Structure 1
Amino acid sequence: MQNNLTIKEIAKLANTSVSTVSRVINNSKNVSENTRKRIQTIIDQNNFQPSMIARSMVSKKTNTIALIVSDVNNPYFISLVSQIEEICIKQNYSILLLNTMTAEETITNLKAEIKTFNIVKEKHVDGVIILGGEVDKIDINPKYATELNDLSKNIPTVVVSQTDSSINSVFIERHQKLSGTMITQHLLANGYKKIGFIGGRPDVKITKERFNGFKETLSMYSTFQEKYVILNDYYVQDGYNAIEKLISTDSLPQALVTINDAVAIGAIRALKDHNLEVPKDVALASCDLFPNSEFTIPRLTTIDHNNNQLGLAALQQLLNLIEHETLPHLPIPYPKLIIRESCGTKFKQN
């Protein structure tokens, strides 16, 4: 038989109405089992694939979720995007991935994010998940807040970030401060007293919370020293630069907490270039697990934030918003300390 049937032709072959065929295609209720089977048999025999445009006009849904990411090269976001995409496929949703980090000198990341909100509205997606960007700032730009609130009013929107009172979206939070507390406690338990902190932009909530966890814990059991702190950014180069600065000012501590694994990797390379070994000369531990950190030399001691559960919680919340339901804030599992080689635990034992 032909395989380019229209819905109208399927209805004629099944001796039923076009609206009944449409309900079967969209898995709607109110269709008898016999009629559903008869229509489905014709669909299967003809390899019928409904037009997404036509389907969305009937159901008012596109089965598409916009995923707005501030930097697709960031290992944290790569991991989270993969988790969300995997779950979306199982739920028969496709993803529209939008990266707001721009290399153009004529446009700022803030402008790029606001522009992306307009693109999302034009695409008629069913929902939006936002990962990082301006929403992570301690002081969110008022224009950004206005535009995001307008987006959230028209399209179900979930933000993976720390809650901000100026934003009306649903938030999925991580235990940021706790990660800084846990990793510092571990270094203190290993006998280190002079501990520094490197990485992370000072205007971002993630940095503020992890650093506060570090500072409060260190101050409780030892002495916090500002000279051991360098807040710059979240990438490998920033770890390298931080070590260079600490060494140039003769301010290298016994141990370092890094904002994430990427910064830790850069720090290890810089120390190696100065003939310093981790953990023999300087111990090191990270606040945020990135993929493949178990293969570095030495293997990184780090904090696992359970990103698989984070992605699941964000998507579950969004799908319920799409269906006009609001779940209570889903609990995110507490982070886990992963003890490997860089912190010096095994080195001290040996």
Structure 2
Amino acid sequence: MATITDIAKKANVSPATVSRVLNGDQSISVKDETRKKIYEAVEELEYVPLIEKYSKRKNLSEELTFLTVTAFSQETEIEDPYYLSIFYGIELECKDREINLEKVYRSGGEFDFDPELEINGIIAIGSFTDDEIENFSQMTDHLVFVDTEVDNCKFDSIVVNLKKVIDKILDYLFENGFKEIGFIGGRDDNKNDRLDQREKAFIEYMNHKGLYNEDHLILGEFSIDSGYKIAKESIDTDNLPEAYVVANDSMAIGVLRALHEKGIKVPEDISIISINDIPTSKFSIPPLTTVKIHTEFMGMMAVRTLKERIENKRALPITVNIPTEMVVRGSVKVD
């Protein structure tokens, strides 16, 4: 993209002279030959004034329509503050940038797309099958995935490095003297029963320490109800680890209730630490120690990344890793 400096070098004049000529400054005395060189350089380098570039981008922004596709049902989003917060960030950013926003949920295992809808790009939230991703790519060249990283040779992704999150949690527990640690998590139906990143990272870390105990691995679904159910059915009061790492706060809240009903005290008898820092986590009993994921910011970055890709005609994909932070409350026993 040519600049005034490029034109000045080409015409063998100063940038100030180029600027004044292009802005129609009548007070400057420049030979006709020099003016001709400047305009020839402008044409050859295809220079576009900054104000014109901005104007084009502004007009483009006003015409943009983004489609969000969620890998789950509308009911799931309403029940899970994690995903609700991501969409809230998307909604806020689209409103601020005057971008039209449409939305499609998974219903009965499928997506009901409006064939008449004209879109500029798709924000896909959650995990999808390979066939679904291929279908999205047929609808638009501009795709960004949130909360999952797909083929990074093609698509943009807004993600959190969950391996680092688990490592951070386990480092924290080991620093505070814990050795017997279990994991409560789940599997995603759209990932063909592959190991969840959190579960995989936990197993790798504990195996490296020589302390992995399969008896302390409990799997269900990523919801309050599932956390409650699997904790109620699977946690043996006579074979407790010192702590459980729970895949998300929603599950952890269900686990806390089940432990309370079993007469197991947190953190006196067992410590619980989870991930996300949803609003209710600080009001649980006890308040959850958790790793905060900036979900609203993830949604905002998805909009910004997609908009930038469209405006700059960027073909190379990027992955944006959102940082996390530990929020220490009362569910981990610390000496």
TM-score band w.r.t. shorter chain: 0.7 to 0.9
> C-alpha deviations, 1:81-117, integer Å up to 9, x for none?
11111111110123223222x3xxxx3x2xx23x3xx
1:319 to 297, 307, 325: 307
User: Quick one: distance in 2 between partners of 1:64 and 1:148?
Assistant: 15
Q: What is the correspondence of 1:256-335 to structure 2 with a 5 Å cutoff?
A: 256-326=244-314, 329=318, 331-335=320-324
Relative to 1, partners in 2 of residues 1:225 and 1:324: Cα closer, same or farther, differing over 3 Å? same
User: Quick one: distance in 2 between partners of 1:335 and 1:287?
Assistant: 10
Is residue 2:103 matched to residue 1:97? yes
User: Quick one: distance in 2 between partners of 1:98 and 1:200?
Assistant: 25
- Cα offset for 1:185? 1.7
How many residues align? The count is 271
Provide the residue aligned with 2:209 in structure 1: 221
User: Quick one: distance in 2 between partners of 1:59 and 1:289?
Assistant: 37
Relative to 1, partners in 2 of residues 1:84 and 1:336: Cα closer, same or farther, differing over 3 Å? same
Is residue 2:332 matched to residue 1:343? yes
User: Quick one: distance in 2 between partners of 1:132 and 1:229?
Assistant: 24
Q: Contact (CA 8 Å) 2:146, 2:159: kept in 1 or not?
A: yes
Provide the residue aligned with 2:14 in structure 1: none
Q: Contact (CA 8 Å) 1:149, 1:168: kept in 2 or not?
A: no
> C-alpha deviations, 1:300-330, integer Å up to 9, x for none?
1111122233222211111112324338636
User: Quick one: distance in 2 between partners of 1:196 and 1:314?
Assistant: 34
Provide the residue aligned with 1:87 in structure 2: 93
1:128 to 122, 140, 143: 122
Q: Which has the higher contact order (CA 8 A, sep 6+)?
A: 2
Q: Contact (CA 8 Å) 2:291, 2:324: kept in 1 or not?
A: yes
**What is the identity percentage for the equivalent residue pairs of Structure 1 and Structure 2?**
27
> C-alpha deviations, 1:179-210, integer Å up to 9, x for none?
11111221222212111111221666696211
More strand as a share of residues: 2
Q: Contact (CA 8 Å) 2:156, 2:319: kept in 1 or not?
A: no
Relative to 1, partners in 2 of residues 1:169 and 1:333: Cα closer, same or farther, differing over 3 Å? closer
User: Quick one: distance in 1 between partners of 2:245 and 2:144?
Assistant: 30
User: Quick one: distance in 1 between partners of 2:218 and 2:290?
Assistant: 19
Q: Contact (CA 8 Å) 2:92, 2:300: kept in 1 or not?
A: no
Q: Contact (CA 8 Å) 2:237, 2:264: kept in 1 or not?
A: no
Relative to 1, partners in 2 of residues 1:196 and 1:202: Cα closer, same or farther, differing over 3 Å? farther
Relative to 1, partners in 2 of residues 1:230 and 1:247: Cα closer, same or farther, differing over 3 Å? closer
Relative to 1, partners in 2 of residues 1:190 and 1:204: Cα closer, same or farther, differing over 3 Å? farther
TM-score, normalised with respect to structure 2: 0.72
- AA in 1 matched with 2:84: I
User: Quick one: distance in 2 between partners of 1:207 and 1:300?
Assistant: 25
Q: Contact (CA 8 Å) 1:63, 1:94: kept in 2 or not?
A: yes
Please report the RMSD computed on the Cα atoms of aligned residues, expressed in angstroms.
Answer: 2.7
Is residue 2:139 matched to residue 1:151? yes
User: Quick one: distance in 2 between partners of 1:91 and 1:248?
Assistant: 53
Matched position secondary structure for 1:196: strand
TM-score, normalised with respect to structure 1: 0.70
User: Quick one: distance in 1 between partners of 2:125 and 2:90?
Assistant: 11
User: Quick one: distance in 1 between partners of 2:190 and 2:238?
Assistant: 28
Look at both structures and tell me which one has the larger radius of gyration over its CA atoms: 2
User: Quick one: distance in 2 between partners of 1:308 and 1:59?
Assistant: 25
Provide the residue aligned with 2:77 in structure 1: 72
- Cα offset for 1:77? 0.8
Matched position secondary structure for 1:172: strand
Q: What is the correspondence of 1:182-221 to structure 2 with a 5 Å cutoff?
A: 182-201=168-187, 208-221=196-209
Matched position secondary structure for 2:241: coil
User: Quick one: distance in 2 between partners of 1:162 and 1:245?
Assistant: 30
Q: Contact (CA 8 Å) 2:137, 2:143: kept in 1 or not?
A: no
- Cα offset for 1:278? 0.9
Q: Contact (CA 8 Å) 1:145, 1:166: kept in 2 or not?
A: no
Unaligned runs of 5+ in 2: 1-50, 53-58
User: Quick one: distance in 2 between partners of 1:222 and 1:152?
Assistant: 48
Q: Contact (CA 8 Å) 2:123, 2:146: kept in 1 or not?
A: yes
- AA in 1 matched with 2:100: S
Is residue 2:149 matched to residue 1:163? yes
Q: Contact (CA 8 Å) 2:88, 2:296: kept in 1 or not?
A: no
Relative to 1, partners in 2 of residues 1:202 and 1:195: Cα closer, same or farther, differing over 3 Å? farther
- Cα offset for 1:251? 3.9
Unaligned runs of 5+ in 1: 1-28, 31-57
